[in-house]
Amino acid sequence: MEVYEAIRTRRTVRQYKPDAVPESVIMKILRAGRWSPSSSNSQPWNFVVVTDPATIARLAEVATQGPFIADAPLVIAIVMVPDAPRPQLDAGRALQQMELVAWDEGLGTCFVGVRVEEQQVGVKEILGIPDDYHLITLMPYGYRTGQPSGRASVPRKPMSEIAHRNHFGTPYETA
């Protein structure tokens, strides 16, 4: 899929087929994360690839924001090293590349934040993540149950509201 088309058609997906994701596809997703740029080339990411059904079930119980995790055959936890200069931003860059490659492979995902302190503690305990690492998200992945509609993404704010020309407050409009 062309990059612009992947970006245009991508949707957040919370329902997954039970089919396992092949190792070769998992590796493509991991490479897409590893190839992302990072602040001062710090490469601060760690990816915990979870395919064990019992572990996924436990994660779904703790991460109550994302109960659909329970139905995913694959969960990847994005974890940043303790001294990462921009853990949130660099995580965003990596996981977006991962999501786009996954989309191209027929998979969907949905960001699950696990921001609540007790969820952080619970997920770290289940996955053995050291306390001082930044747990950013659990990303469940699975094959999509429906066909992409081919329409552009769900409604967005109008471009005139979010894009400015040369100075904030001057709407960007094409000539």
**In the bound complex, what is the minimum distance in angstroms from residue 121's beta carbon to a copy of itself?**
14
CB of 6 or CB of 121, closer to a copy of itself: 6
Q: Which residues of 90-101 are buried (b: 16+ CB within 10 A; e: fewer)?
A: bbbbbbbbbbbb
**In the bound complex, what is the minimum distance in angstroms from residue 155's beta carbon to a copy of itself?**
9
How far is residue 116 from each of residues 51, 64, 123, measured CA to CA in Å?
24, 10, 11
CB of 112 or CB of 143, closer to a copy of itself: 112
CB of 50 or CB of 62, closer to a copy of itself: 50
CB of 147 or CB of 174, closer to a copy of itself: 174
Identify the three-state secondary structure at position 78.
strand
Q: Give residues with Cβ within 8 angstroms of 133, minimum separation 6.
A: 46, 79, 80, 81, 82, 124
State CA 43 to chain mean position distance.
17
Count of Cβ atoms closer than 10 Å to residue 37 Cβ: 10
**In the bound complex, what is the minimum distance in angstroms from residue 5's beta carbon to a copy of itself?**
8
CB of 17 or CB of 55, closer to a copy of itself: 55
CB of 134 or CB of 143, closer to a copy of itself: 134
Q: Is the four-CA dihedral 35, 39, 43, 46 of positive or negative sign? A: negative
**In the bound complex, what is the minimum distance in angstroms from residue 100's beta carbon to a copy of itself?**
5
Which one, of 61, 44, 42, lies nearest residue 53 by Cα? 61
**In the bound complex, what is the minimum distance in angstroms from residue 128's beta carbon to a copy of itself?**
4
**In the bound complex, what is the minimum distance in angstroms from residue 67's beta carbon to a copy of itself?**
17
